[in-house]
């Protein structure tokens, strides 16, 4: 541990060190030497038949993985020169040293592994992720570019165990740069769904990234009406989440099916009637692409739903469109209808709080990425629709 080479050499000469004995964590003297960066000690231990393939007790980590994690390319070279080293031995999660090199953005290490065995660059972890997927998830740009140079061997539409492709992952991480680069690739498939039935467009909407959503939608490669496992199209999802900027953008796209409904027969207008804000409802109705009298599977119109949820502004606007005379003013909390219990109302309030928190967090992410257009777009939308 302390790196006293002379002492280690002396003890080895006396045969006083069991070079492959492990401690309570399964770590050998060689592992400790690698971990602490003592290259000379690593060399002499290897000369005395230290086994470089003994893995730690729980994580099954090897000395090769440890050298990569420590960003020690000189140490890695020493280990690779040992013929006994099983270079691509995986840990408990089936991460090989290549996966760690991709995560650590170690371009030179990836080159070394490619020289040893190019197929090692495409092995899968326990979760079905390849080194390229790891690079995308961790926003590792050098590793990302490295794998793109191997595009002929790279399955750009590979799905992990959750069904996510690289562009699903980049969208979930709200990484505009990587999404932009992936969209340039010839064979990229934006119609692939993950295990939840989500396309990259669904994911971009669920992360409240308006600019990312626009980048995907305007690529011309998306299925604008793809349905996820909950029966939600991108428009329905954006409306359910209460995202006015995205909803109004999607409604303006000719390829968007505004008549689409979920499994319960609700269209975007039905969802908007539940919302506390009337901005989305007004946006949908002013598009002239919705039947205000459309009914869901329970026979409810948007007005019926607005009344059930006590959404005063929505009721007022819907009645205005329908030329229905206003009755007594409606109090938001005077009573609860048979259809909507107090518990449901409280759940709505919680969802509103969660959505506001998501918007706040994603606004901060956007600021860090230099994208602060979303907040301005929402403010502009509110002003225009209140008129």
Pairwise CA distance, residues 300 & 338, whole Å: 14
Pairwise CA distance, residues 311 & 292, whole Å: 16
Average pLDDT over residues 229-255: 98
pLDDT at 176 over 70: yes
Pick the range with the lowest mean pLDDT from 51-60, 285-294, 319-328. 319-328
Under 8 Å CB-to-CB from 381, ≥6 apart: which residues? 244, 245, 248, 279, 283
Q: What are the sequence ranges of the domains in the chain?
A: 1-86, 268-387
- Of all residues in the chain, the percent with pLDDT exceeding 70 is 79
Nearest to 245 by CA among 340, 121, 380: 380
Whole-structure pTM value: 0.81
- pLDDT at position 356: 54
Pairwise CA distance, residues 57 & 320, whole Å: 70
- Of all residues in the chain, the percent with pLDDT exceeding 90 is 76
- pLDDT at position 149: 96
* Matching residue, tokens 């669920």: 206
Q: What is the pLDDT of residues 42-81, one digit of tens each?
A: 998 898 989 999 999 999 999 999 999 999 999 999 999 9
Average pLDDT over residues 336-354: 50
Pairwise CA distance, residues 271 & 357, whole Å: 20
* Region for residue 314 given its phi and psi (left: phi exceeds 0; alpha: psi -120 to 50; beta: otherwise): alpha
- pLDDT at position 310: 96
Average pLDDT over residues 354-383: 48
Pairwise CA distance, residues 3 & 59, whole Å: 25
Pairwise CA distance, residues 377 & 363, whole Å: 12
CB atoms within 10 A of CB 305: 24
Q: Do domains 1-86 and 268-387 have the same CATH topology?
A: yes
Query: What's the CATH fold of domain 268-387?
Result: 1.25.40
Average pLDDT over residues 77-96: 97
Q: Which three-class secondary structure state does DSSP give residue 203?
A: helix
Do residues 61 and 28 make contact, with C-beta atoms less than 8 angstroms apart? no
Pairwise CA distance, residues 359 & 365, whole Å: 10
Do residues 302 and 272 make contact, with C-beta atoms less than 8 angstroms apart? yes
Task: Give me the chain's average pLDDT, please.
Answer: 87
Average pLDDT over residues 295-300: 98
By CB atoms closer than 10 A (0-12, 13-18, 19+), residue 3 is middle
pLDDT at 168 over 90: yes
Average pLDDT over residues 26-35: 94
Whether CATH 1.25.40.20 fits 1-86: yes
Higher pLDDT, 184 or 387: 184
Do residues 209 and 366 make contact, with C-beta atoms less than 8 angstroms apart? yes
Pick the range with the lowest mean pLDDT from 39-48, 120-129, 162-171, 227-236. 39-48
Pairwise CA distance, residues 73 & 68, whole Å: 7
């Amino acid at each position: 541990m302390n790196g006293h080479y002379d002492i280690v050499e002396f003890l080895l000469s006396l045969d006083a060190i069991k070079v492959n004995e492990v401690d309570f964590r399964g770590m050998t003297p060689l592992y400790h030497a690698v971990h602490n960066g003592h290259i000379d000690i690593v060399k002499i231990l290897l000369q005395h038949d230290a086994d470089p393939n003994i893995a730690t007790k729980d994580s099954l980590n090897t000395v090769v993985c440890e050298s990569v994690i420590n960003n020690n390319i000189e140490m890695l070279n020493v280990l690779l020169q040992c013929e006994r080293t099983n270079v691509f031995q995986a840990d408990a999660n089936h991460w090989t040293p290549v996966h760690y090199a991709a995560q650590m953005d170690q371009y030179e290490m990836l080159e070394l592994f490619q020289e040893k065995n190019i197929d090692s660059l495409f092995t899968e972890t326990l979760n079905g992720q390849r080194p390229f997927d790891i690079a995308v998830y961790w926003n590792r740009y050098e590793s990302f570019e490295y794998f793109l140079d191997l595009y002929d061997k790279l399955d750009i539409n590979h799905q992990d165990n959750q069904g996510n492709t690289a562009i699903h992952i980049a969208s979930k991480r709200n990484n505009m740069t990587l999404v932009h680069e992936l969209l340039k690739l010839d064979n990229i498939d934006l119609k692939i769904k993950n295990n939840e039935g989500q396309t990259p467009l669904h994911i971009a909407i669920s992360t409240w990234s308006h600019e990312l959503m626009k980048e995907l939608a305007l690529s011309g490669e998306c299925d604008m009406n793809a349905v996820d496992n909950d029966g939600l199209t991108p428009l329905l999802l954006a409306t359910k989440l209460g995202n006015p900027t995205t909803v109004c953008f999607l409604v303006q796209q000719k390829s968007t099916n505004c008549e689409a409904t979920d499994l319960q027969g609700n269209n975007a207008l039905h969802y908007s009637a539940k919302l506390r804000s009337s901005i989305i409802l007004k946006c949908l109705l002013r598009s002239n692409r919705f039947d205000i009298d459309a009914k869901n599977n329970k026979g409810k119109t948007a007005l019926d739903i607005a009344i059930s949820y006590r959404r005063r502004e929505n009721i007022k606007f819907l009645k205005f469109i329908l030329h229905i005379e206003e009755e007594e003013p409606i109090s938001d909390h005077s009573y609860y209808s048979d259809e909507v219990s107090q518990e449901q109302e409280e759940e709505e309030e919680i969802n509103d709080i969660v959505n506001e928190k998501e918007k706040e967090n994603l606004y901060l992410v956007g600021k860090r990425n230099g994208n602060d257009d979303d907040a301005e777009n929402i403010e502009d939308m509110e002003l225009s629709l209140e008129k």
